[in-house]
Amino acid sequence: MKDPAQNYTAFPDGEALDRDNLRVLRFLRHGPLGLGELAEKTSLARNTVATRVDHLIRRGLIKQGPSIPAERGRPSVRFKLNERAALLYLVFFDETHVTGAICDLGGTELGSLSRCLDEAYETDDAIRHIVEIRDTICAENGIDRADLQVCVLGVQGPVAEDQKTVPWSRVGLLPTGMAAVIGMPVIVENDANLMAVGVAASQDGAEPIMCILVSNGIGAGIVTNGAVHRGTGGWAGEIGHVPILAAGERPCVCGSRGCSSAVAGNLALYDMLRAKGHSVATISDVAQLAVAGNLDAILALRNVGRNIGEAILGLVIAIAPGRIIVAGHAAEIGDHLLAGVRETIVYRMPAALAARIQVEISAEYENTMRRGALSLGFDSLFPPKL
Ligand SMILES: [Zn+2]
């Protein structure tokens, strides 16, 4: 049953929003504003703003917010985004799980569900999970499926301009008609890219950002001038396929040899520890050892960090990021992995550059990724530039 108090308002209503409407709407995303403030921020005339505000209220996209008491006369009215004007369906695939969440435009979660993935699942299974999770969340939370306006799908591996993933992304090669299958427009994005978008959305200024996501493999999301740098075929930032000396001649899934992911992801960590006689199968096993002060585990984490550092050196000098943000469960075990990355940057990069780069950890990176997905979904409904 739909809860009438929630008052979901479907969008789009079939009518396009012009550029001035979008400008007003997008400024209201960051908090309530009055007509005068909106006129100043949008550089539109006050009466133009007033017309746009009326239009957006009529469409159910914004609403009256809290008033500011005035010293004299009537209190000044402020307007704010109607966060329930559209709902977004966010889905994230990692190596072992798929997680779906339905959020409003402000990021408030209305329901979520996580499922384990089979060892050998294929594209059809991925699509089935996406559809079933959506239907379950809707049924359990009284959400009308018709109110979902866009699906943002986070996956591992390169995502090309045409939003198909490559065969070794565990989601597989997605069909072109995904929107028809899922019943709404679909945006597919690489998980590390989503993280970088999430970080960019909450930082002031346009300093380049590099987000490194460490899981069984490693990948980087790069944002320059406020936009994801995707590169041809979505290959920019696939640092797990940078050859480094430590990886020797080991063959890689990409068809090349000596790729860094052989010595710079969670699987590499397990290999290093098994070679020392430890029985590890999951990242929690590694965490347990390291937290207990086991030197093999601490050194393995540091080594993996150094190898990641080696893999990103070229990229660091190419984009000179102000911030390198390292995320993933392995990165959250003390600061051993981070120390390895930092050490390599400090020793192998020109001192003047290394001194300017902040290497930091992203705690709760899933939230950052979600913020990135939300930002992409919002931009697709209300584009920043027309
Ligand atoms: Zn490779």
The model's pLDDT over 78-111, given as tens digits with 9 standing for 90+, comes to: 999 999 999 999 999 988 899 999 999 999 999 9
Cα 191 to ligand 1 centre (Å): 18
- Whether residue 164 is predicted with pLDDT greater than 80 in this model: the reply is no
Cα 258 to ligand 1 centre (Å): 7
Q: Hey, which of 5-19, 226-240, 270-284 has the most confident mean pLDDT?
A: 270-284
* Domain-embedded: residue 316: yes
Residues 39 and 176 in one domain: no
HSE-CB at 80 with a 13 A cutoff on CA atoms is: 12
Query: With bands split at pLDDT 50, 70 and 90, how would you rate the model's confidence at 130?
Result: very high
pLDDT, tens digit, for every residue of 239-298? 999 999 999 999 998 899 999 999 999 999 999 999 999 999 999 999 999 999 999 999
Residues 165 and 248 in one domain: no
Query: With bands split at pLDDT 50, 70 and 90, how would you rate the model's confidence at 172?
Result: confident
Query: With bands split at pLDDT 50, 70 and 90, how would you rate the model's confidence at 1?
Result: very low
Residues 220 and 101 in one domain: no
Residues of the domain holding 75 = 19-81
Residues 132 and 95 in one domain: yes
The pLDDT score that the predictor gives to residue 76 is 81
Residues 110 and 258 in one domain: no
Residues 271 and 292 in one domain: yes
Q: Two tokens at 232? A: 């041809």
Domain CATH code at residue 236: 3.30.420.40
Cα 252 to ligand 1 centre (Å): 5
Residues 342 and 372 in one domain: no
Cα 310 to ligand 1 centre (Å): 15
Cα 240 to ligand 1 centre (Å): 6
The pLDDT score that the predictor gives to residue 201 is 87
The pLDDT score that the predictor gives to residue 155 is 92
The pLDDT score that the predictor gives to residue 14 is 60
Cα 336 to ligand 1 centre (Å): 25
- Whether residue 69 is predicted with pLDDT greater than 80 in this model: the reply is no
Cα 222 to ligand 1 centre (Å): 19
* Domain-embedded: residue 115: yes
Residues 27 and 113 in one domain: no
Q: Helix 283-291 to helix 295-319 angle, to the nearest 10 degrees?
A: 110
Query: With bands split at pLDDT 50, 70 and 90, how would you rate the model's confidence at 13?
Result: low
The pLDDT score that the predictor gives to residue 274 is 97
Q: Hey, which of 69-73, 287-291, 379-383 has the most confident mean pLDDT?
A: 287-291
* Domain-embedded: residue 1: no
Average pLDDT value over all residues in the chain: 90
| Counted domains in the chain | 3
* Burial class of residue 13, CB neighbours in 10 A (0-12, 13-18, 19+): exposed
* Domain-embedded: residue 218: yes
Residues 231 and 271 in one domain: yes
Residues 258 and 306 in one domain: yes
Higher-confidence residue of 309 and 174: namely 309
Helix (H, G, I), strand (E, B) or coil at 305: helix
State which H helix or E strand residue 261 sits in: none
- Whether residue 9 is predicted with pLDDT greater than 60 in this model: the reply is no
- Whether residue 6 is predicted with pLDDT greater than 50 in this model: the reply is no
In sequence order, what are the beta bridge partners of 259?
243
Cα 48 to ligand 1 centre (Å): 55
Residues 127 and 141 in one domain: yes
* Domain-embedded: residue 132: yes
Q: State percent of the chain over pLDDT 90.
A: 70
Average pLDDT over residues 330-355: 96
* Domain-embedded: residue 106: yes
Domain CATH code at residue 45: 1.10.10.10
Query: In the listed set 66, 81, 96, which residue is the last one of a domain according to the structure?
Result: 81
d(CA 47, CA 38): 11
Contact (Cβ atoms closer than 8 angstroms) between residue 231 and residue 194: no
* Domain-embedded: residue 356: yes
Residues 141 and 276 in one domain: no
Q: What's the pTM?
A: 0.90
Q: Two tokens at 234? A: 């979505």
* Domain-embedded: residue 165: yes
Cα 234 to ligand 1 centre (Å): 15
